[in-house]
Amino acid sequence: MPNIEQKFEGQEICIVSPDVGGVVRARQLAKRLGADLAIIDKRREKAGVSEVMNVIGEVEGKVCIMVDDIVDSGGTLCNAATVLKSKGATEVHAYVVHGVLSGEANERIAKSDLASMVITDTIAPSDAIKAVPNIEVISVSHIIGEAILRTAEERSISALFR
């Protein structure tokens, strides 16, 4: 996590799971970074539409970093960012592995309370996505290449993520 460690060095951060399903991932990252943990309790009434219900944990005065595996419409993360800010978070950032970003997601994110959203290039971003000022795309090609090499050499892949 050098990007997170370097970018937020010296700041009080809180790792946030945008839903109950991502708590294990968020908890592992929070432990690794020595950060607090918060969880967004939400209800999804229908596909693609989420309503943030509650924030479990203390976020006031902290930089919140949401971590998720995939973002499609961006609704959950944008709604969560608004609620986190209303609860006193100083900034809200998101780190997402797969940025699908369909429909009006890029416009939604551009207008949101997210200071930044970092996505990987596991899905090639469109020019419209690249043009959104608060979306950053980082490459994972070096990690995938190293994983292939380690597999060929019968070495540990999990050691890449310690």
Contact assessment for residue 63 and residue 90, using Cβ atoms and an 8 Å cutoff = yes
Q: From the candidates 31, 42, 46, 130, give the one annotated as an active-site residue.
A: 42
Q: Give the residue from 39, 118, 119, 106 showing the smallest Cα distance to 74.
A: 106
DSSP 113: S
d(CA 78, CA 104): 12
Query: What is the DSSP secondary-structure string of 10-51?
Result: TS-EEEEESSGGGHHHHHHHHHHHT-EEEEEEEEEEETTEEE
Catalytic annotation on 42? Answer: yes
Question: Which amino acids are annotated catalytic?
Answer: 42
